[in-house]
Amino acid sequence: MTRICAQYHRQQHRDLGESLRWFKAVHCRCYNPVTGTCDPDCPDGHDQNGMVYVEQTVNPALKALISQIQQPTVDPQYGLIQVSATRISVMPDEIPLARLDRVILTQRPLTARPVLVRGNGTLLDPLTNTPVVAVQSVTQDGMVYQEGTDWQLNGANIEWLTGGQHPADGSRYRVEHTYHPTYSFVGLEDNTTPYDAAGVPLPLRGVLSLV
């Protein structure tokens, strides 16, 4: 019975789910398990938890179910309130998500409208909401800069092209672009195990928090 159930869940994830990129959270190599501390001068760029994120290969056929839920939380001013949270469900034998792992939902681009400062002595102005999907517009005070003539997207940077128009060095301009948000898996939703007593996988569900 549970075996049929597992097949049903697996098929449901593939049919109704979304693609994702998965990054496993691992302790940085500077982490000392005896003291539980990290080297503050570490060159490997670990985050404040001492973790680095290693992208895992995900078979494109494997999908995650994503949904918005209302989650109760205690606000210091208003008491118990409901906040919207993003929930993910995966099959644990396919994508064994663990706490602090990161995922990028590649079918849910968000829009960002940052104000950038034209850099001095460089042609590149970095965007901070990454990975960037596409740039919709680059403007300053009604001036619309032309893609391909004035600027181009270079990785996660607006690259100003020689010979084109550009904002004055040090001045502010606005970019509108889409990007794929990165989420942190904050852990299982409840105390259930993702495998039943017979070792049959059941959906692993938990809440995602925007990084």
Check residue 55 for interaction with Zn ion (CB under 5 A).
Answer: no
- In this structure, what are the phi and psi dihedrals at residue 36, rounded to the nearest 5 degrees? 70, 25
- Site for Zn ion (CB under 5 A): which residue of 6, 13, 25, 46? 46
User: Of 53 and 173, which CB lies nearer to Zn ion in the complex structure?
Assistant: 53
Check residue 161 for interaction with Zn ion (CB under 5 A).
Answer: no
Check residue 42 for interaction with Zn ion (CB under 5 A).
Answer: yes
Q: CA 205, 206, 209, 211 torsion: positive or negative? A: negative
- In this structure, what are the phi and psi dihedrals at residue 205, rounded to the nearest 5 degrees? -120, 140
Interface stretch with Zn ion, choices 38-46, 56-64, 95-103, 132-140 (CB under 5 A) = 38-46
- Site for Zn ion (CB under 5 A): which residue of 7, 37, 44, 107? 44
Interface stretch with Zn ion, choices 40-48, 140-148, 158-166, 182-190 (CB under 5 A) = 40-48
Residue 12, burial from CB neighbour count under 10 angstroms (0-12, 13-18, 19+): middle
Token digits of residue 72 = 């109760």
- In this structure, what are the phi and psi dihedrals at residue 119, rounded to the nearest 5 degrees? -70, 150
Check residue 133 for interaction with Zn ion (CB under 5 A).
Answer: no
Check residue 159 for interaction with Zn ion (CB under 5 A).
Answer: no
User: Of 6 and 51, which CB lies nearer to Zn ion in the complex structure?
Assistant: 51
CB of 114 to Zn ion, least distance (A): 28
User: Of 17 and 50, which CB lies nearer to Zn ion in the complex structure?
Assistant: 50
User: Of 30 and 85, which CB lies nearer to Zn ion in the complex structure?
Assistant: 30
* CA angle (116 as vertex; 53, 124 as ends), nearest 5: 70
Interface stretch with Zn ion, choices 24-32, 78-86, 156-164, 168-176 (CB under 5 A) = 24-32
Q: For 37, which DSSP code?
A: B
Cite the beta strand spans of the chain per DSSP E: 20-27, 51-56, 65-75, 79-90, 102-105, 110-112, 115-117, 124-126, 132-140, 143-144, 151-154, 157-160, 172-179, 182-188, 204-210
- Site for Zn ion (CB under 5 A): which residue of 19, 21, 27, 28? 28
Give residues in contact with Zn ion (CB under 5 A): 28, 30, 42, 44, 46
